[in-house]
Amino acid sequence: MKKIKWASIQPLTGGFYLGAEEAFGYPAEWILTYNGLDEIKRNKEGNITAVSNEAYLLNYLKKVNREVPYYKMNRAMFDCNVDDMNPEITLNGEPAKPDYDVDVVVAVPVCSGLSMVTSAKDDTKNERNCNMLYLVKLALTTIRPKVYLFENAPTLMGFRGDELRQQFEKIASENGYVVVYYKTDTWKHYNCQKRPRTFVMFVQKIDGESKVPTLDFVDHKMTIEEFFANIPEGLENQDECEALPHNYMVMDFFKKKYGDAWIDNIDGCLMKNIVQRNLINELLEFMESYDKMTPEVKEKTRNYLEHIRKKTSMD
């Protein structure tokens, strides 16, 4: 049987990339993304002040000896010129181009333009949606895999996503693809957070016919205990780029507070959920005895909670 060749464009924090790698059983042929998504910023003392999304994924792949060629496009992430199909591309700082002879491409376009809780202005939301539209056009007109798959916000399937879906279907029709949408919830698919998502799959027509696979996913409502038990060793520990493990703490907090009813209370963005329910003080008290976080990370999390509280305040 022929090996399926797959690649990733704009993997961001890498969850979907790692899921695809698990499904295929081997790393991607390459990653194609934007300049700057792998940056680590430091102050004068050399301490990290900010870590861009894909630095976490690259750090993890390096730690487990699965480094993947990482190509960068020299264009703005929210550039609405979606007709620019030949951006300058580099590999390790030198001009280069990925081998587009792949069967499957997976991506994580920015979803905040369709977020149900975003406070962004309309022009900002439109710019963010341009990212999703550009990646669709790049995949279907230039890379041309047999399947292009990405996940996004649930509102893509509602009236807020009408215009985008029309553009997707037009691009698909013009380039010999059909498009399939699948709306589901993360807690049904090996993730204990209750968060609705939309999956979009473009399938290339073969001999003028569409052969779209049946989307028959396992409905497995995972417990918090199962979730923690299934985290691969080393995934949490990102060395100097360590991600704040506050989401893990919040899940344990909800389990303690709500018992068997935790799944009905853990909807949407975890931190905003805490703020909206006026549970910050209670969570801080829980955190003091939480043994999965170092004192340094607890301090960072306190600061983050205060930031979220101020950001969501109506005062």
Q: Where in the chain are the domains?
A: 6-204, 244-312
DSSP state of 142: I
Residues 200/156, Cβ–Cβ less than 8 Å: yes
Q: 182 forms bridges with which residues in the sheet?
A: 199
**CA gap 142, 2 in Å, rounded:** 23
131-141 pLDDT tens trace: 989 999 999 99
Selection from 120, 21, 133 nearest residue 85 by Cα: 133
Backbone angles phi, psi at 25, to 5 degrees: 95, 5
Task: Please name the residue that has the structure tokens 């710019």.
Answer: 127
**Model confidence at 244: pLDDT above 50:** yes
Alpha helix positions (H), 188-294: 224-229, 246-258, 270-276, 280-288
**CA gap 196, 227 in Å, rounded:** 17
pTM for the structure as a whole = 0.77
Token digits of residue 1: 């049987």
Backbone angles phi, psi at 139, to 5 degrees: -65, -45
24-52 pLDDT tens trace: 999 999 999 999 999 988 888 887 778 88
User: What b/e string do you get for 224-258 counting C-beta neighbours within 10 Å, with b at 16 or more?
Assistant: beebeeeeeeeeeebeeebbebbebbbbbbbbeee
Superfamily of segment(s) 6-204: Vaccinia Virus protein VP39 (3.40.50.150)
Question: Three-state SS for 268?
Answer: coil
pLDDT > 90 in the chain, percent: 31
Interval 258-278 mean pLDDT? 77
**Model confidence at 315: pLDDT above 50:** no
Type of residue numbered 277:
R
